[in-house]
Amino acid sequence: MSDQDHEADGPARPAVPSSASDILASDAEREAVVARLNAACGEGRLTLEEFSERLERSYTARTRGELQPLLRDLPAESSEPASAPVRAGEQGERRGEWHVTPIGGISRRGPWRMRDLTAITLIGGADLDLREAQFTAREVTLTKVSLVGGVNLTVPPGVQVVIEGFSILGGRRVEIDEVPDGDAPTLRVRAFSLIGGINVRSSRPVERLRAAREARRAGLDGARAERRAAFEEARDQRRAGLDDARAARRAARDERRRGRRHG
């Protein structure tokens, strides 16, 4: 039996993708999509919840066809700077918003545009739900100053939260998912109070996005293991076939030798 015959009996070659959308996506292509989503969120094109949903789908995407819809309604490249410097006295969203009151906090939820926000109170906290909010820049700052009053934030997974400041009585509780890189939308919280803590939580369980990442990694590892097993099986079959051929040739040679001796 020839080597070609044994090779023909080996595992079939993988089929060629029928279209470009069926081609498996690389890690670099996924990261490029994540970077564009980060920029779009900083431009105010996506709410934080929309950004989080697409971020999760980008990590679980297996093919280019699954990545393409995530950017379909976004421009190819950023057409405006994420955060331009603002001169003193210049009007615009980057100038920020102020909330000053002796008693009474600030509460926001639903669709709203989050710009730099400063809240100053004697008694009163800040309760902000950012799931449907749009950032007016890639990084926005919440400054909270009070005698009594804490900060309670709800953010979607994938948003970076940086906490600064101090409190005499009051702790910090942060339960959010780690972001993939430093270009993610960032909320900087600067809180100063005598009594009042900081509570930041993700709108969905942190384990959900982590599980999606692990599932994709496990799928890749499983595919690699299958390809490795198929390769080793084909190699073993080929070696077994060659050994059989060698044994057959050796037996035929020995038979001829015995025939010559008796002839």
Per-residue pLDDT of the chain (263 residues; tens, 9 = 90+): 444 444 445 555 555 556 677 788 888 888 888 888 888 887 888 888 888 888 888 888 888 888 888 998 888 765 444 444 433 333 444 567 888 888 888 888 888 888 899 999 999 899 999 888 888 888 899 999 999 989 999 888 788 889 998 888 888 888 876 665 556 788 999 999 989 889 988 876 555 555 666 666 676 666 677 777 777 777 777 887 777 778 778 877 877 777 777 76
Q: Tally Cβ neighbours within 10 Å of residue 186.
A: 19
Supply 177's token pair: 């998912």
DSSP 35-48: HHHHHHHHTTSS-H
Q: Which residue has the tokens 């900087």?
A: 188
Name 164's Cβ contacts closer than 8 Å, sequence gap at least 6.
188, 189, 190, 191
Report the Cα 170 to chain-centroid distance in Å: 32
Q: Which residues of 88-98 are buried (b: 16+ CB within 10 A; e: fewer)?
A: eeeeeeeeeee
Give the whole-angstrom CA distance, residue 235 versus residue 224. Answer: 16
Question: Where does 36-82 show beta strands of DSSP type E?
Answer: none
Q: Is the C-alpha dihedral spanning 79, 77, 132, 83 positive or negative?
A: negative
3-state secondary structure of 170: coil
Specify which residues 135 forms β-bridges with: 114
Q: How far is CA 14 from CA 18, 179, 210, 230, 241, in A?
A: 12, 36, 31, 12, 23
Question: Strands 139-148 and 151-155: what pairing?
Answer: unpaired
Question: Strands 151-155 and 126-129: what pairing?
Answer: parallel
